[in-house]
Amino acid sequence: MNFQQAVKRYDSDPTGKNLENISRILCAELTTGEKLRLLSGRQFFLRNGVDLITKKQKYNCRPCLAGGIDRLGIPPVAFSDGPRGVVMGNSTCFPVSMSRAATFDDELEYRAGVAMAKEVIAQGGNYFAGICINLLRNPRWGRAQECYGEDQYLTGRMGAALTRAVQDNGVIACPKHFAVNSIENIRFSVNVQADEITMHEVYLPHFRKCVEAGAMSIMGAYNLFRGDHCCESKYLLTDVLRGQWGFEGFVISDFLMGLRSAPKALKAGLDIEMPQKALYAALPVCLRTGQVSMKDVDTAARRVLAGLIKVASKIKPQKKEVVCCKEHTDLARKISQEGTVLLKNDSLLPLGNIKKIGIAGRYADIINVGDHGSSSVFSPYVVTPYEGLCNRYGRENVVLCEGTDVSAKIGELRQCDAVIICVGSDYRQEGENLANFSKSDKMQENGSGGDRYSLRILPEEAELIHTLCKECENTVVNIIGGSAYVIEEWKDEPKAILESFYSGMEGGNALADILSGDVNPSGHLPFTMAADENDYPPFLFPGDKTRTIDYGYYHGYALLDRENKKAAYPFGYGLSYTTFEYEITKTENEGCVAVTLEVKNTGGRDGKTVIQVYAGADDGDHPVKQLKAFKKIFVKAGGTEIVRIELDPEDLKFYNPDTKEWYLEKYYNLFIGQNAEDAMNLKRKIKIV
């Protein structure tokens, strides 16, 4: 049997049992050397290719290959990174995952996944590792921008949508980094501890949703969990992933330094070492000395084959022209519009057709679409905030003041109808900690990303806000960055505040769409913006004496509920240019758990609202509430929509570590609202039949 024959046999009976059987038969056709070849990457990833625009060496410029057996037509795993788009070539740069999470729209995320899959295939790939579903436990985490926020349910919904989209289009989907990965600067050495309830109810559910959505690969994490590196954790890779969830696919290591022992990793359930053969080069010797068995090798090889077989027939050839095509760039703009969060508006926005507009700040007219590490996408162009305003209002009507020194143009800015102040972060303040791979003083000086030591914007940016808000009547602060900031020192000064995140290649146009009122904002925060840095859980930095941290059950809005604290801006918060009112008309608890609402648009503009349904149980030691359903709907000005939202009983269950089973409490409180705090005002108690 060759690979194509195996694919045809699977397609005739696409069941898990048949997939396992066919993979076993095909594996038997391989020599020992060929089986071992399947288990390693084939190239040094830092010398992967040359970018067509910059003409410089670039990570993942073309697919990173692993395995592949020409004799039987078995294709290699052809890896592309993400998650804000396809890292290969010059692809569409979408808004970062955090921005997409702010849309609270998993159908829109599915559309993004379809576009990404097409761009992977068009550039020779069959594998997408752009589904980053680690939880934002503390916004100091440098790679927060790559994830979907602090809530496991929202993360699971968005990650599952991206997983389905990618695999429906013939590309192997890879959620990452498994698991409890949310500290960057000491990512290779931090040892995370967490009890069983915390793991199963907080840090694992979103991975499980992606597995249930069909993911055929998983990437292990760099960090340690309970003393074992995650890529060598039998508990994670075998006991949970395969034993409890029935995962059918294969596990790859994170790139370089993901494992320390080849025998331990293979036996734990790590199938492919990426991006090249390093520790797995010792596997032939390990076989001869009995440190691993042929059964261990066969098991890993069969899993790789299963992943390739399952998606092969879904691949539809794509022309190169699909990469960064207009359909995809329009989608990037749409996502940025839907994900922009309006935090404050003192009757200033929308601006409409004003005569003169100013824009100032470090990020007013530079390319700033996110981290420069493994998630970096090199799109052919990027629309900056300044260019977006020029496209909307005309270049002659836009006053640009780059940087934080506005003294030379303060007179012009005073004459503007409104001034936009762009503040936040870039790759130098947050991102992948590239200093892990370089100790050079130059890299440290220029900024190497990593975790954020401060959750506040830079002092010179705060001073810029103070100055312009004093000198100019109508000011809008536009926050550009990966996650939450503490903004208490200046939030009362501007008339409006937006959080636009790293908004992708069309972000400047999307910003102008929102400011002008061409688009009504509908983004909602996928994290809690706290009033104080200490309202977030503890974090570790390289200077700390310990490398062990306990990931307790509570963080984000669940922690604030438990400690009876208020957020500056709660999870799920987002304003609109109109207003909405909710009224519960019906709850159901027989056969399913559901709530029916009457949603009224009480303002003068058409708009969208995100209905958020939280649930909690009084019995037992549980959180006050957790997000269990959401739905984004459009309501015309003055109109009313009747909306029924059904909750999955599986999402309401709690974990019993003694029996290792899930259970339902007898009674639940449902909280419905437009954010985590607002939901406390609309409550219903139901009995689970």
351 close to 342: Cβ distance less than 8 angstroms: no
Q: Residues near 660 by Cβ (< 8 Å), separated by ≥ 6?
A: none
140 close to 455: Cβ distance less than 8 angstroms: yes
**44-to-60, 78, 112, 125, 347 alpha-carbon distances in Å:** 10, 14, 29, 17, 55
526 close to 98: Cβ distance less than 8 angstroms: yes
DSSP conformation letters of 15-55: -HHHHHHHHHHHHHTS-HHHHHHTTBBBS-GGGS-B-TTT-
651 annotated active-site: no
CA distance 268 to 599: 51
CA distance 291 to 284: 10
632 close to 608: Cβ distance less than 8 angstroms: yes
CA distance 24 to 456: 55
Q: Are strands 341-345 and 496-499 parallel, antiparallel or unpaired?
A: antiparallel
Helices marked H in 517-578: 556-563
Name residue 188's amino acid.
F
**Rg of the Cα atoms in the chain:** 25
The catalytic residue among 254, 535, 561, 651 is 254
Q: Token pair of 225, please? A: 């969990």
User: Edge-to-edge strands of the sheet including 398-402?
Assistant: 341-345, 496-499, 475-480, 418-424, 357-361, 398-402
What's the burial of 250, exposed, middle or buried (CB within 10 Å: 0-12/13-18/19+)? buried
27 close to 69: Cβ distance less than 8 angstroms: no
* Cα–Cα nearest to 307, from 237, 234, 218, 220: 218
* Cα–Cα nearest to 613, from 600, 595, 599, 589: 595
Q: Are strands 475-480 and 496-499 parallel, antiparallel or unpaired?
A: parallel
Name residue 470's amino acid.
K
Name residue 380's amino acid.
P
Give the other-Cβ count within 10 Å of 117's Cβ.
30
Identify the residue whose tokens are 């339902």. 664
Active site residues: 254
